[in-house]
A = this chain, B = another copy of it.
Amino acid sequence: MQANFKRACEFIHQYYDESKQHESSQRIEGIKNEISTSGTYKLTVDELVYGCKLAWRNSNRCIGRLFWNSLKVKDKRELDSETEIFEAIKSHIKYAFNEGKIRSVISVFNHQDVKIYNQQLIRYAGYKLKDGSTKGDPEMLDFTKYCIDLGWEPSFGEFDVLPLVLQLKNKTPKVFEIPKEIIPEVNLEHPHFSWFKELQLKWYSVPIISNMILEIGGIQYQAAPFNGWYMSTEIASRNLADRFRYNKLPLIAEHLGLNTTKNRNLWKDHALLVLNEAVLYSFEEAGVQIVDHHSASEQFMKFVKLEQKSKREVTADWSWIVPPMSAAALEVFHHQWNNEVKSPNFFYRTPVWN
């Protein structure tokens, strides 16, 4: 309780300070009383909104933080039924997608009663087939199995969108199918290689992280899904490329006529370049916002400058900020930052379904 109050004070002071309001002492007194009677306290909507923005601004691993102040915050703390929450999540997805002009959004649910089991609101299933091979996204094997155990009907495809799994208080988790029409996906093609389309690769348009705990002023929000738009390397250099994910580099290299048994011909680098080109081109053609790693690096350096101007120290995790492609060609590669973790922030949660 004491710790809670201390963090509450820190946050309230920062909020009043940065929003140029004076005299937070009355508010502090109110929180003190609230905590001593109920063990917790409620942020005002304005405080919640600013807290969410700060949590983003403090996300050391996020290269997209230039836009921290334009985050849209949906206060859904009052919802107390699975169907209402499911409706709010569908609204989030639609509002965030915004016909391709993606908006950065966070929806904050009741901090103790709601749990979302999914790692992202939209992700593809992964299956271990009878012959021992894997289909779909290997990272989702366990969660997919869990969904099937809960009664979800798998279709054993390469890109099956997983259902949403919600839990209210200690009730049994409920499974919801997200309607196809609100999940826009982008089919991948390449500006120069017509065979690329036939690989039938695709990806969903908005990454909405739903397994991190949002912490503001000592309160931990278990369910606070948030999204920005994609940086192209996330899809092209990781999700579709990693050997332990979709592992598509050998397939692409073969189509490029490259010998995949030799390291020295740089077939992986070549395939990565082509895959990254395809992702950027296809998202652009589909009218879905995405940022390339060069622009993202420039935007982050602009964020760093603005923060310095505001006399705030930027904290950052270099190994996450630097994109996993052509790293030294990006300005972020040539800088260093303090990786101290400030509050408010987002934290990992151990998978709830384990």
Q: Which A residues fall within an 8 A CB radius of B?
A: 233, 237-238, 241-242, 249, 263-266, 268-270, 272-273, 276-277, 280, 284, 292, 294-295, 298, 318-319, 322, 324-329, 333
Contacts and interface: CB of A to CB of B under 8 A. Distances in A.
A263 to B, nearest CB: 4
B329 A237 contact: yes
Contacts of A276: 266, 269
Contacts of A241: 328-329
Given A324-B328, A328-B242, A266 B292 contact: yes
Nearest to A238: B328
A266 B272 contact: no
**Which DSSP category, helix, strand, loop or mixed, fits chain A's interface?**
helix
A325 B269 contact: yes
Contacts of A273: 266, 269-270, 273
A326 B275 CA distance: 12
Contact of A269 (B264, B322, B329): B329
B242 A268 contact: no
A286 to B, nearest CB: 14
Copies in the complex: 2
Contact of A272 (B295, B318, B326): B326
Given A269-B276, A273-B270, A294 B263 contact: yes
A326 B269 contact: yes
A318 B270 CA distance: 24
Nearest to A263: B294
Contacts of A233: 328
Contacts of A326: 237, 268-269, 272, 324-325
A253 to B, nearest CB: 11
Contacts of A264: 280, 284, 292, 295
A233 B327 CA distance: 11
A329 B294 contact: no
A29 B270 CA distance: 60
Given A273-B266, A276-B269, A280-B266, A324 B327 contact: yes
A237 B326 CA distance: 8
B324 A268 contact: no
Given A242-B328, A268-B329, A325-B327, 17 more contacts: A241-B329, A263-B292, A263-B298, A264-B280, A264-B292, A264-B295, A266-B277, A269-B273, A269-B326, A272-B326, A322-B327, A324-B326, A324-B327, A324-B333, A325-B325, A325-B328, A327-B327
A329 B325 CA distance: 9
Nearest to A276: B266
A263 B290 CA distance: 12
Contacts of A242: 328
A49 to B, nearest CB: 32
A329 B250 CA distance: 12
Given A266-B273, A269-B273, A318-B319, A237 B292 contact: no
A343 to B, nearest CB: 24
A333 B243 CA distance: 12
Contacts of A322: 319, 327
Contacts of A268: 294, 326, 329
